[in-house]
Amino acid sequence: MTAPLRSGEPIIVPVALGARAYDIVIGRGVLSSLGARIKALRPSAKVAIVTDENVAQKHLAATEASLKAAGIESSTIVVPPGEGSKNYATFEKVCEAIIAARIERNDLIVALGGGVIGDLAGYAAASVRRGLDFVQVPTTLLSQVDSSVGGKTGINSKLGKNLVGAFHQPVLVIADTALLDTLSPREFRAGYAEVMKFGLLGDAAFFAWLEANWQDLFAGGPAREHAIAICCRGKAGVVSRDERENGERALLNLGHTFGHAFEAGAGFSQRLLHGEAVALGCTMAFEYSARKGLTSEADATRVRAHLDSVGLPTKVKQVQGGVPGVDALMDLIGQDKKVKRGKLTFILVRGIGQAFVAGDVDPAEIRAFLTERLAG
Active site residues: 130, 152, 194, 235, 245, 249, 253, 256, 260, 274
Q: Say if residues 115 and 256 touch (Cβ distance below 8 Å).
A: no
135, with CB counted inside 10 A (0-12, 13-18, 19+), is buried
Cβ-based neighbour number of residue 107 at 10 Å:
21
Which residues partner with 24 through β-bridges? Answer: 13, 173
Distance of CA 17 to the CA centre of its chain: 20
Q: Say if residues 111 and 117 touch (Cβ distance below 8 Å).
A: yes
